[in-house]
A and B are shown apart, each in its own frame.
Chain A
């Protein structure tokens, strides 16, 4: 591989240019070339114009869009945070209301239960006293019936004894019978 730079001398179109410094080697080093000097001046001019367009118009435009977006995002975030706070508060209120409702329901249930218990107690007490009375009345009646029965016992026993004695002996002595029945009873 032979890297032989072809020199400007051999380039016909350039050689034809009058008043042009023609040198060998890299074209970038032909500092006498007016085109080379010209590109520095033009380049400086173009770069300065480029700089001013960028700094005055193009870059601020990009900056505005980015700032607008940042502001928008911040606003949306704030809004979202605000909404979240409100939602949290609403949620908390809901929880509180639920708690309160549950509390009052519990209290109601308790009071109803207490009332029902009191009623039941009262009713059972009434029933008990009524039964008690009835039992007592029944007992009194039984006692009365018993004493009645006992009071008639002597007469029945005397009559029975008198009848039996008359059947056996043909006659009876009512005093003796009465005495005998009295004796048997005591």
Chain B
């Protein structure tokens, strides 16, 4: 919120304890609360949507099936037949992030995907799972991918460290991409919203001018809807790509 002439664009990312001292002891903030809400919404979407189990689906069931098919196609087309084993994981990731991103667009809500700790935890989970999968499918042959095939041996002292570095940077880029996108979007929304309040303090002229940031915020909200989907999609598809690399060869 705006206070004086400064804009506090980052205060929205602060964590506050919920449920009083009980929550404080358990380190419960609004972030886990919104995670629970997101998960509950996704599960409600699936369970309520699929309740009719109709051969000719209604709107909600069709939507649930589209969500299912979308992620399934994503997983199977990228990873191949082995992708069906990872499908629930990809589905969970995609809808967890998507619901988190979209929940954060509601006023008075909290965007847990705007916390690097959360996105890094998810990215590290993907990283660890892809390494374990690679070790299971390729055994120790996994490590020879750090030396690109066909490259001259003389270059190996340079290539191997570069390959290892690029491999290790995966969780970093994966987590920072989502985190930075969500933070940037919410900071922008907050900044323009604050402009409206600040302009409103300038009298009649300000009231008229204050319409502009509101209009920008409406456009930004639309953009955020796109970004929120896109980031969930990117996270899911990169996970699929890492897992497909791990299962192939």
A residues sitting closer than 8 Å to B (CB atoms) are 1-6, 8, 11, 13-14, 25-29, 31, 33-44, 46-47, 49-51, 53-55, 58-59, 61-66, 68-69, 72
Q: Which of B32-40, B154-162, B236-244 contacts A (4 or more CB under 8 A)?
A: B32-40
Establish whether residues A35 and B15, one from each chain, have CB atoms under 8 Å apart when the complex forms. Answer: yes
How many residues of B are in contact with the other chain, CB < 8 A? Answer: 53
Establish whether residues B88 and A68, one from each chain, have CB atoms under 8 Å apart when the complex forms. Answer: no
Establish whether residues A3 and B117, one from each chain, have CB atoms under 8 Å apart when the complex forms. Answer: no
A14 to B14, CA, bound (A): 10
Kindly list the 9 A-B residue pairs having the minimum CB-CB distance in the complex, ordered from nearest: A38-B27, A55-B88, A6-B8, A42-B32, A39-B31, A35-B15, A35-B29, A4-B6, A27-B14
List 13 A-B residue pairs with CB atoms under 8 Å apart, sorted by A's residue number. A6-B7, A11-B11, A14-B14, A28-B117, A36-B117, A42-B27, A43-B121, A47-B125, A49-B39, A50-B92, A51-B92, A58-B46, A62-B50
Indicate the member of B7, B10, B112, B122 with the most A CB atoms within 10 Å.
B10
The verdict on A62 contacting B55 (CB below 8 Å), with A11-B11, A28-B179, A31-B117 known, is: no
Find chain B residues with CB under 8 A from A42 CB: 27-28, 31-32, 35
The verdict on A46 contacting B27 (CB below 8 Å), with A3-B191, A72-B55 known, is: no
A6 to B9, CA, bound (A): 8
| Residues 180-231 of B at the A interface (beta carbon under 8 Å) | 183, 191
